[in-house]
Amino acid sequence: LPVLANQHVIKAGYVLDVASGKQLKDQYIVVDNGKITSISSNQPASFDQTKLIDLSDKYLVPGLMDMHTHVVRNLSKNYFDSYFQSPHRSTIGGVVNIEKTLLAGITTIRNVGASDYRDVALRNAVNAGEIPGPRMFVSGPSLGITGGHCDSNALNHTFNEKSQGVADGPWAARLKVRQNVKYQVDVIKFCATGGVFSKGTKLGQRQYTFEEMKAIVDEAHTHGRTVAAHAHGTEGIQFAIKAGVDSIEHASFLDKETIKLAKKYGTYLSMDIYNTEYTLSKGEENGVPEENLNKERKVGGIQRESFSKAVKAGVNMVMGTDAGIYPHGDNAKQLSRMTKFGMTPLQALQAATINSAKLLKQEKTLGQIKEGFFADIIAVDANPLEQITTLENVSFVMKDGVVYKQ
Ligand code: ARG
């Protein structure tokens, strides 16, 4: 075996094949130039011993993928921070947050909603190797109707406040998609219904019309971008699915018909069922207004029931946490809630790896520890299929063949 400059050989105790659920014992994983070039129970014939990473007492899992984050936001710290922080300051916060995220074993994120293309800047800096962070698939400003969940409605009208992604009507919405594409987003996010953390919006209330949603999806797909729709209420979820979105974020109010629809269209559900606990215990102390706390109290339980129903029905599920509502780096806490509300540990891990890779259309290179795949590998001390919470304390993180934590 030729010794390449950036080669590693990992001696692994157990390697989880997330596709089959099998755990392969005592494997050697060879990593060359960021990719996995072989996995075998035989030690490579010859290699640079200094490049050996001994994880023979660990359980290896593909790097986790979180499909719903807000890395340039810290709702958890001070609800009104965004009013007082410049975009530059908050982007620097993002630098800190993505490192925390990566070190927690989240090697890929989708960031859904950031003004000023702060997420694009972060992604580009990560890709250029300037700062540590996960692989980032980013949306730039979220599209939304005037006064909707993706607008800013807190200040009175004399401030003329308006979020950057606000667009009413199919053509205005197409223009926003085109602008986001122009400034290099990977995914388009829009708000289909009201939400918890916005002023004056109702969770169950649909916002964009079907015509607008179709225009957004058509424009995005034309330009090779996937679409994520924020939707709590049933009608908004249904319209978004029928309009052809790739994922529904939150998906709180699901009935039988909507679940059927999601199955028929193959839509992925990204349900943030952990953050409820954080908001209800810490929200008040962090200054979250009563209106928003109240909405959280109403939706949390229902969303978890919907999650259980969707899992039972076999809908496509990914892991989406809404990190930023709670502290960055706690993303994996959601996995145990996913098992509590109906998934097996393997299903939860599949949601956070192979399914997320499919949603991103990266399933040929991300989401598995497999030959030809990017070397995004994490390790934990206990068997994650028996003890899912072990993923809250990862002891090893490799992304792109680079070790970030050991
Ligand atoms: N960003 C979402 C919203 O404001 C968060 C919802 C959080 N709560 C929940 N139960 N998922 O609507």
Q: Which amino acid is at 80?
A: F
**Range 298-304 average pLDDT:** 98
| 154, 16: one domain | no
- Let me know whether 193 and 91 are in one domain: yes
Any domain includes 1: no
Same domain flag for 194 and 136: yes
Q: Is there a single domain that holds both residue 162 and residue 232?
A: yes
* Cβ < 6 A, ligand 1 pocket: 195-197, 250, 272, 275-276, 296, 299-300, 303, 322, 325
| pLDDT score, position 4 | 54
Q: Please compute the mean of the pLDDT values over residues 277-293 and round it to a whole number.
A: 94
Task: Please check whether residues 106 and 186 belong to one and the same domain.
Answer: yes
pLDDT at 2 over 80: no
Structure-model confidence comparison of residues 78 and 11, the more confident one:
11
* Of the candidates 277, 278, 268, 275, the residue with the CA atom closest to the CA atom of residue 240: 268
Q: Is residue 2 part of a domain?
A: no
Phi (first) and psi of residue 2, to 5 degrees: -70, 145
Q: How many domains does the chain have?
A: 2
321 CA → ligand 1 middle, Å: 9
Q: Compute the distance from residue 231 Cα to the ligand 1 centre, in Å.
A: 10
Report the chain's mean pLDDT, rounded to a whole number. Answer: 96
What is the domain range of residue 154? 64-359
One domain, residues 103 and 252: yes
What distance in Å separates the CA atoms of residue 232 and residue 60, rounded to the nearest whole number?
35
CATH number at residue 30: 2.30.40.10
CATH of residue 209's domain is: 3.20.20.140
Do residue 179 and residue 211 come from a single domain?
A: yes
In a domain, 400, yes or no: yes
Atom of ligand 1 nearest to the CA of 250: 11
Question: Are residues 371 and 266 both part of a single domain?
Answer: no
Helix (H, G, I), strand (E, B) or coil at 165: coil
Which of 249, 250, 334 to mutate to test ligand 1, by most ligand atoms within 8 A of the CB atom?
A: 250
Task: State the distance from the centre of ligand 1 to the C-alpha of 358, rounded, in angstroms.
Answer: 24
pLDDT of residue 1: 42
Q: Is residue 201 part of a domain?
A: yes
Predicted confidence band of residue 227 (pLDDT cuts 50, 70, 90): very high
* 12-50: b (≥16 Cβ within 10 Å) or e: bbbbbebeeeebbeebbbbbbeeebbbbeeeeeeebeee
Residue 335 lies in a domain: yes
Is residue 350 in some structural domain?
yes
